A and B are shown apart, each in its own frame.
Chain A
């Protein structure tokens, strides 16, 4: 077990980052908010955390600072974007990601310019990173089960209906956006502290595709989807080593296939499977009942 653990260290580290990033994408998409901002917050969180760690701030302080800062910035952005819906929001968050890249390229010593930052202290252990990802899953799963989480899901189906039912739709949207920002920022700082480097190429278009792949393939309807997607994306390269250079191609194709055939991803597939099973069992029971009744007659 321990030898397996050490052999898979890099993958486990990647898993921790991926789970956080996937949750960040999933939580906004679940509530019907078209946001790709997770990747921008990944960058912001990584730069902030890296700078704090290089100034010898203890790791818990770094994580808290990044989480708080991401929440505040995310909340501010959500306020700014309050009037935007649908495609406009998707586009402005896409632009936000690119702005963070440009800021990173031109940020002087804070970001290390186009080459990025190197020699960030290795402050986080793999176990701590996994614990953080696990905590993320716990928080998200609990949130989903509770009234607020269920109310948020209404936003995706019909915002007007939610409003008519008396839900505080606007504040819920801000909450979801800030939550996604925090998860994205934490994913970024985790990545920076585990790999000791961060640069503008680390959170470009490819990371948007990877994040979307995880959330969409797993299924945006539940945190479990994000977790499944993160597992799949993390271990995919080891199963398909010959395909390594075509990884981006495979992810892209997967997104298209899932979106067309099963928009709720693996989770949707599992749910449909269980429903079908139940329905089948119920039909069998009813048949048995009917036959039993006939026999009694």
Chain B
């Protein structure tokens, strides 16, 4: 990477860009990887919940002219995300789990259902904004820029890195060491046996979906502010990158998720810097396909527990 990018401070700037991008990817992908790794739910609506949170901020601050600053907007978005994912869990996933006879069928129905859910916020945002990019706050937050060996990094970027990495690390520790976390890992191995041990599956999935929705909301506001705008397709574009991250890291491994996110970000920054930029999105596809074909369980993933 080093030889390709020209002068030193430009190199450092690229490293900072990759770090910020990687942090956002890890925060977003965490919301996909956690329910998948623990509850076996692939929530294809995650991208559109991300969009919904940014969109609600837009409606509140730009349309309804409520003066919101960034922390308030983040709080609103997190609340929206948590509520939205709880609703999905309550109305859709829990009902499907209750009604279907075997786990495979329930998984299939939940994936299809989440495709349906994903369409709802996208359709609403599309109708309201007409597909045009929208800002999530009245004016972009002015964040102080710091000089760092010739490169610059803003307060917003620092908080993106700190918050994202902090949340993912905290969650990884929580899953590893806390009582609830142990319960989650037990459910991931075998839901039936786990429920015999007195672990409540519905409570666990409510916790997991709440966390997932909250991170979607936070990611929506941070990413929206970082890029200065969102549009109705932002969520779907990011969803695929989230997949790539989860797949590279391996489902069920939160540390792998961090590695995957930063690997993807570095790859994208290098491709953008060395080619015309049209192939940037190709990095995530290439990663997905190569990893799934060579190491279907990801680099850090656990072997699937298969019993008859």
Contacts and interface: CB of A to CB of B under 8 A. Distances in A.
Interface of A: 29, 32, 34, 80-81, 83-84, 86-88, 90-92, 94-95, 98-99, 102, 105-106, 156-158, 160, 205, 208-209, 212-213, 216, 245-246, 248-249, 251-256, 259-260, 263
Given A29-B112, A259-B92, 19 more contacts: A32-B104, A32-B105, A34-B111, A83-B296, A86-B104, A86-B108, A90-B42, A91-B247, A92-B289, A94-B44, A94-B243, A95-B243, A95-B288, A95-B289, A102-B285, A157-B102, A205-B233, A256-B116, A263-B96
A158 B236 CA distance: 32
A233 B107 CA distance: 25
Interface centre among B36, B102, B113, B278 (most CB of A within 10 A): B113
Interface stretch (B1-9, B11-19, B118-126, B204-212): B118-126
Given A95-B285, A259-B109, A249 B115 contact: no
A252 B285 contact: no
Nearest to A98: B240
Contacts of A160: 308
A91 B116 contact: no
13 contacts: A32-B104, A84-B292, A86-B108, A87-B42, A90-B42, A91-B243, A91-B247, A94-B240, A95-B244, A253-B120, A256-B113, A259-B96, A260-B99
A152 to B, nearest CB: 15
B166 interface: no
Interface in B118-167: 118-120, 122-124, 126-127
A70 to B, nearest CB: 19
B240 A260 contact: no
Nearest to B40: A87
Q: Would you call the interface of chain A mostly helix, strand, loop, or mixed?
A: helix
Given A106-B279, A205-B236, A260-B91, A254 B115 contact: no
B127 A91 contact: no
Contact of A32 (B42, B108, B240, B292): B108
A102 B236 CA distance: 14
B88 to A, nearest CB: 9
Interface residues of B, number: 47
A113 B23 CA distance: 32
Contact of A249 (B111, B123, B289): B123
Q: Would you call the interface of chain B mostly helix, strand, loop, or mixed?
A: helix
Contacts of B99: 260, 263
B127 A260 contact: no
Interface in B25-51: 36, 40, 42, 44
Nearest to B47: A205
A209 B115 contact: yes
Contacts of B282: 99, 102
Contact of B120 (A84, A94, A249): A249
Contacts of B116: 209, 212-213, 251-256, 259
A209 B121 CA distance: 13
B95 A260 contact: yes
Nearest to A25: B112
B97 to A, nearest CB: 11
Contacts of A87: 36, 40, 42, 107, 111
A256 B95 CA distance: 11
Question: Sorted from nearest, which 6 A-B pairs have the closest CB atoms?
Answer: A252-B119, A255-B116, A249-B123, A248-B123, A259-B113, A256-B116
Contacts of A249: 119-120, 123-124, 127
Given A106-B279, A260-B92, A246 B123 contact: yes
Nearest to A251: B119
B118 A245 contact: no
A158 B102 contact: yes
A90 B123 contact: no
Contacts of B115: 208-209, 212, 255
Given A83-B296, A263-B109, A99 B285 contact: yes
Nearest to B237: A98
